[in-house]
Amino acid sequence: MEFRKIEVVPISGNIGALINGAQLNALNDETFEEVYQAWLHHCVLFFRNQKITPQEQIDFAQRFGEIHFHPYMKGLDEHPEILEIIKEPGDGYTFGSVWHTDQMFNPKPAKATMLYAHEVPKKGGDTMFSNQYLAYETLSKPMRDMLNRVKTFNVGDGFRRGIGKAKRIDRYAKNPTMQAKIRDPGNVSTEAIHPLIRTHPETKRKSLYIGSHTQTLDGFNADEADSIIDFLRNHSQRHEFTCRFRWETGSIALWDNRCVQHKALADYDERRRTHRITIAGEKPI
Ligand SMILES: O=C(O)CCC(=O)C(=O)O
Ligand SMILES: [Fe+2]
């Protein structure tokens, strides 16, 4: 792929690229098109030293599609499109610290997520990403053939682990700012059935679509489903499929939830503050 406006520097063998030469509050259409093509190809992009206002972050996000609103967490008062995620020293809970893909419990899960770092720990707090095209392509043909017909059942409230609203409040017991953002999803659905192998609507490539929200496989006995899900979870996180991003103040990561799982590392006990925007997606097929 040829880029004339931006420099694209892969940060690992199979996923993730750093984009140089793009100031996200001043992208002309040609540069945006290169960013978008790089994004589809590398699955997650990283930008350094961005100085953009909340409105500029929203404007950039909207070039990817409509804003998706988090069903369980309120955004900023002045900018409800932005969820400010704050971890404080001693608060003990790290948002997104298991492998997952965002909003998989929604019948129309988020297409993309953009995270903009405002305060970062001196060490730790990296985010990991895993390429789920590869997770699919590296399975054997008989396995792919079997899994191609399988459907998953996914929930936002973790019916086995029993999260529920009370636990959600409990998890932020030491962080009143985050606790105050918790809300009821209202009539937004937080359960969804999806194909285990989905086809990316733009690249047309198949990927493994599984994450921490996945509870069971439609029609399988519970022990069969558990074993297959365990195997696929482990497989989907193979180190060769992943990259790991070290945050700095002003860094932005932008990932494609249709072909990426990610995980925030809970290896720090300092303040970390990010601004997160998700983009609405379509029903997986
Ligand atoms: O904070 C992070 O590094 C990622 C958290 C996460 O899972 C998300 O924002 O969707
Ligand atoms: Fe996430």
List the CATH number of the domain containing 138: 3.60.130.10
Ligand 1 atom with the shortest distance to the CA of 125: 3
Q: What pLDDT was estimated at residue 162?
A: 62
pLDDT tens digits, residue range 212-227?
999 999 999 999 999 9
- Average pLDDT value over all residues in the chain: 96
pLDDT tens digits, residue range 51-66?
999 999 999 999 999 9
Q: Is residue 76 part of a domain?
A: yes
Q: Is residue 37 part of a domain?
A: yes
Q: What pLDDT was estimated at residue 159?
A: 62
Cα-to-centroid distance, 89 and ligand 2 (Å): 21
Residues with CB under 5 A from ligand 2 (ion): 96, 102
User: Is pLDDT above 80 for 158?
Assistant: no
Which ligand ends up closest to the CA of 245?
Answer: 1
User: Is pLDDT above 90 for 71?
Assistant: yes
Q: What pLDDT was estimated at residue 163?
A: 66
Ligand 1 atom with the shortest distance to the CA of 247: 3
User: Is pLDDT above 80 for 160?
Assistant: no
Is the C-beta atom of 125 inside 6 A of ligand 1? no
Q: Is residue 141 part of a domain?
A: yes
Is the C-beta atom of 196 inside 6 A of ligand 1? no
Q: What pLDDT was estimated at residue 168?
A: 80
Q: What pLDDT was estimated at residue 169?
A: 85
Q: Considering 42, 68, 100, 200, which one is annotated as catalytic?
A: 100
Is the C-beta atom of 15 inside 6 A of ligand 1? no
Domain encompassing residue 75: 7-279
Q: Is residue 27 part of a domain?
A: yes
Q: Considering 68, 258, 262, 275, which one is annotated as catalytic?
A: 262
Residue 44 — very low, low, confident or very high, per pLDDT cuts 50/70/90? very high
User: Is pLDDT above 90 for 161?
Assistant: no
Q: Is residue 2 part of a domain?
A: no
Cα-to-centroid distance, 20 and ligand 1 (Å): 22
pLDDT tens digits, residue range 246-283?
999 999 999 999 999 999 999 999 999 999 999 999 99
Ligand 1 atom with the shortest distance to the CA of 264: 3
Q: Is residue 252 part of a domain?
A: yes
Q: Is residue 1 part of a domain?
A: no
Q: Judge whether 59 counts as a catalytic residue.
A: no
Q: What pLDDT was estimated at residue 95?
A: 96
Q: Is residue 285 part of a domain?
A: no
Residue 21 — very low, low, confident or very high, per pLDDT cuts 50/70/90? very high
Q: Judge whether 213 counts as a catalytic residue.
A: no
Ligand 1 atom with the shortest distance to the CA of 253: 3
Q: What pLDDT was estimated at residue 1?
A: 79
Q: What pLDDT was estimated at residue 167?
A: 79
Domain count of the fold of the chain: 1
For residues 168 and 84, which has the higher predicted lDDT (pLDDT)?
84
Q: Do 73 and 181 meet the contact criterion of CB atoms below 8 Å apart?
A: yes
Cα-to-centroid distance, 263 and ligand 2 (Å): 7
Is the C-beta atom of 211 inside 6 A of ligand 1? no
From the list 230, 198, 237, the residue with the least C-alpha distance to 214 is 230
Atom 4 of ligand 1, nearest CA residue: 264
Q: What pLDDT was estimated at residue 19?
A: 98
Atom 2 of ligand 1, nearest CA residue: 264
User: Is pLDDT above 80 for 238?
Assistant: yes
